[in-house]
Amino acid sequence: MEKENIYGFSLEQLTAKMIGLNQSSYRSKQLFSWLYKKDADSFDQMSDVSKAFREELKEKFSLDLPKIFVKRFSEDGTIKLLLELSDGHKIETVLMHYVYGDAVCVTSQVGCNMGCKFCASGLLKKVRNLKVEEMVGQVIVMNRLLKEVDPSRHVSHIVVMGTGEPFDNYDNVMSFIRIANSPSGMEIGARHITVSTCGIVPGILRYGKEGLQVNLAVSFHAPIDEIRSKIMPVNRAYPLEKLIPALEEYYADSNRNMTFEYIMIKDLNDSDECAKELAKIAKRVHAFVNLIPYNKVVENDFERSSNNRIHYFHNYLLSQGIKSTIRKEFGSDIEAACGQLRARYEGK
């Protein structure tokens, strides 16, 4: 019988497993603590579990994690990993170092089918969804490496903003978030967890009803259908007339503000009219706008907006009472932008 990966189970699921093995329900909390608080890398370390039961655990469960295939360290504290999964597929995981902590950018799918024209990740089509343990594994592997580099740092924030569309792998992503957020497990606060979507309406509506204090980011990128459909095919399925009411409903359900990510691309989405429409929509749905200088990828002809244009947008949004920042760039010396490293190793 194939072993089950223990990092794939929520506390409730592990409790059910323990009861099935004639253990007290308290066992699962003990195991969670070893896995996520004490970061055990073998069952033998679990000293308060009897030797006999440790042997049983070894027979039934594995502690397999993705393997580090390539690692790169940037001067600015960014770490980028290319990880190899058990079936040989490779995924990227990035760590971003902020003044307030360390955020790991988690990949949710091998490849992506959303087809956004500006994105390097989507150059490789979706192969499969990531399993729960493969998302949990990204955090654990990154956290271990981080502690080796600097024992005073640890993963404090999670953004599901790596390759893939999280709401196209909804159930696994939510199970992963519940493990990350569990007070008995990693204990990463819900307000420190963000999921980023390109605008999958049913996912947004479900997410707002989860009853968690987690954050939503929307890759907005254009406030006018004609432009948005040109660069994001998802807009044809969920145009603004569907997306905006869904975001209003999300806000009403969750009472949480959201973030719009807005890549600034020269002569495409950086006109005065775009600034005006963007401000109107952001106000309507209570969004904070993160302006992102476009990260040039060789596979397309888009150019970054001028700094003047970016600052014009920023100031205009502020003048309209919309909170806005210009995103700091990370790890440009190590190809840390989405998909660059994987695309290179997969021969694109």
Q: List contacts with ligand SAH (CB under 6 A).
A: 114, 116, 118-120, 161, 165, 196-198, 219, 261, 263, 292, 294-295, 297, 337-338
Other beta carbons less than 10 A from residue 183's beta carbon: 10
Are 28 and 18 in contact by the 8 Å Cβ rule? The answer is: yes
β-bridge pairing 90-98 and 79-84? antiparallel
- Judged by beta carbon, residue 133 or residue 165, the one nearer ligand SAH is 165
Q: Is 330 annotated as a binding residue?
A: no
- Judged by beta carbon, residue 137 or residue 199, the one nearer ligand SAH is 199
Q: Find the catalytic residue in 12, 55, 92, 105.
A: 92
Q: Is 116 annotated as a binding residue?
A: yes
Q: DSSP string spanning 134-149?
A: HHHHHHHHHHHHHHHH
Cβ at position 165, least distance to ligand SAH in Å: 4
Cβ at position 322, least distance to ligand SAH in Å: 18
- Judged by beta carbon, residue 281 or residue 338, the one nearer ligand SAH is 338
Are 31 and 14 in contact by the 8 Å Cβ rule? The answer is: yes
The span from the first CA to the last CA of the chain, in angstroms, equals 38
Cβ at position 105, least distance to ligand SAH in Å: 8
What's the rounded Cα separation, in Å, for the pair 50 and 3? 20
Q: Is 89 annotated as a binding residue?
A: no
Q: Find the catalytic residue in 105, 198, 274, 338.
A: 338
Cβ at position 264, least distance to ligand SAH in Å: 9
195 closest CA partner among 175, 215, 176: 215
β-bridge pairing 101-105 and 324-326? unpaired
Q: How far is CA 262 from CA 93, 142, 193, 249, 306, in A?
A: 22, 27, 20, 21, 14
Cβ at position 43, least distance to ligand SAH in Å: 35
- Judged by beta carbon, residue 119 or residue 278, the one nearer ligand SAH is 119
Q: Is 219 annotated as a binding residue?
A: yes
Other beta carbons less than 10 A from residue 52's beta carbon: 8
Q: Is 221 annotated as a binding residue?
A: yes
Structure tokens at 121: 């990740």
Q: Is 32 annotated as a binding residue?
A: no
261 catalytic? Reply is no
What's the rounded Cα separation, in Å, for the pair 161 and 221? 15
Q: Is 220 annotated as a binding residue?
A: yes
- Judged by beta carbon, residue 118 or residue 313, the one nearer ligand SAH is 118
Q: How far is CA 3 from CA 6, 7, 60, 117, in A?
A: 9, 12, 5, 40
198 catalytic? Reply is no
Cβ at position 277, least distance to ligand SAH in Å: 18
DSSP secondary structure code for residue 62 in this structure: E
- Judged by beta carbon, residue 32 or residue 313, the one nearer ligand SAH is 313
Binding positions for [4Fe-4S] cluster: 112, 116, 119
Binding positions for S-adenosyl-L-methionine: 164-165, 196, 219-221, 295
Residues marked active site are found at 92, 338
